[in-house]
Structure 1
């Protein structure tokens, strides 16, 4: 048998297929507790009243529960159906049920409680800073920091290159380049044998003590930015794994954060089709194509995924579709059910990719 389960400020109610009330579990008549339960239900969590009602329904022979939430209950077949019979019935009848089951005495009392609950829910929502928004700010800051480091490093190489032009081709990484300047200053003070030998024959101009002091301070600021970049990166990796373990497992923490940023938030991403996720970050290319100015893009920021990078050119599109499909499923797990299916999703993707690459 099928039961339709819905909730309101009064409690959780179950109806049969004819719209008849078959069971109920009322909430405590306390504004804070009602607000807390309704907030959890909206987020897709199961509250104890729902557990109790579903258990009673199961014992009464109801083997299918229909409700407007993405939540599973062990041993019971649950079906998501937005705006189902139960929701419609309860919306029109909850005031009558409140008085009938002595949860409230008058319509005026119901109105008062309803107002207080709505105020409590609004305050809770205003206090909450969703973690995905913080991650989005962090990844935006990290990308901006990357751009700043590159610009500063370019100027550093040009500046110190006047003193020691040969060092630029001998030291490839900007961080190492900055470390050498910060630690040693003038080219003749560099202890590295190869660099010191090159410095003796260098055609660069002499720098005064004041010149060296200033560029050392400048290179030190670049090293500080590299350190900050490392700290922000670790923060993003940790928070992304905690907040959205499934997306993080499929895309990797940093790519997951960038996808989150391009999508506008976890909720929006969870409601996106796989085809949209695949093109996140390629909006400009897509608009150019729609204007007839280029080919349709096959992928956006997802192109940075290791599986796509290692795939042959003719298979990159197929791999991108596989990854986008898994990301679509992963985002729904992360947002709606808050269940960690990362190990299974990652294993399934690996098998599908390997099969495609053969």
Structure 2
């Protein structure tokens, strides 16, 4: 508390030297950190003492200042319907505290424990009051200490960022993702959905730009604010570079321009015109393979006749009386055949010629295996002819019909 009184006394004095003023701001920031630590320690003491009376209260009320107000207001009262908590907590939190008090198993505190708890609550509230006064002093000096940062997020948010970071130099060294989380606190939703709650947001949500942004764009805007605030803090950290805050104003205009751009509706879809037709003849695939394919899948004469219908003449069908598949002009008066004859296909002719050519090339000078020396006559029946007379003396057949040929004799053992 002595440090708080000293800071408040220095507030009334005039400091013409900017170095002394900046050092005072740094001292105030360190003082704010000390106050935060002391509030945390005293808050833990209050929770340990009051846990015997109302253990579930610390899981409902997370803020240390609100917890001290509620404990001081309730005291040793067991029936919370007699305690007025309006103005201290939101309505949903008051309802949760009232319903939980009906099922709690706590016991009243002794007079000594209750007195120590109330004194601790008064100490927390006094520290919070001193913290607000120091914050007000730092905010009044932000225009000269950090003009660019104050131009973007405001003097009050700039003071909180610098105080939480531990100084302007420490804030300038932080990345944007850490600046976004400065001052983040756990929010008590009291069983409600967390879909609309802003998570991973700290002091920057108190800035004017964030509050005036539509909810759908706030996640994108908070990242922009964190990045531009880091740049502005680095400009302010280099003393004497931009004391008028011109860079901060330019960065703020850039953020507002991007927000306006995001809110613009998407451009209407323009009708796509048709492509200009190409009057030049296109190249078509030709050649022997394409001609064969066309001939293979060409419509036969039979199918052409079946697709035609004579005028005034009933066509025949597969089941008769017009039922089933119709035959068209197949089998009409002037047609004695069901299948109209057509010229042989070129493919079939080419395949036949190719087969004959392969057969001739494979046979060569050798005689056919179907030629035999046996002759059939209507007088003699089967007659064995001389191969020499019919030209079959070549090859192995000349051995059997040769005059010099003899039968081989096998020796038996």
TM-score by length of 2: 0.40
Structure with the largest fraction of helix = 1
- Which structure has the larger Rg over C-alpha atoms? 2
Structure with the largest fraction of strand = 1
TM-score by length of 1: 0.45
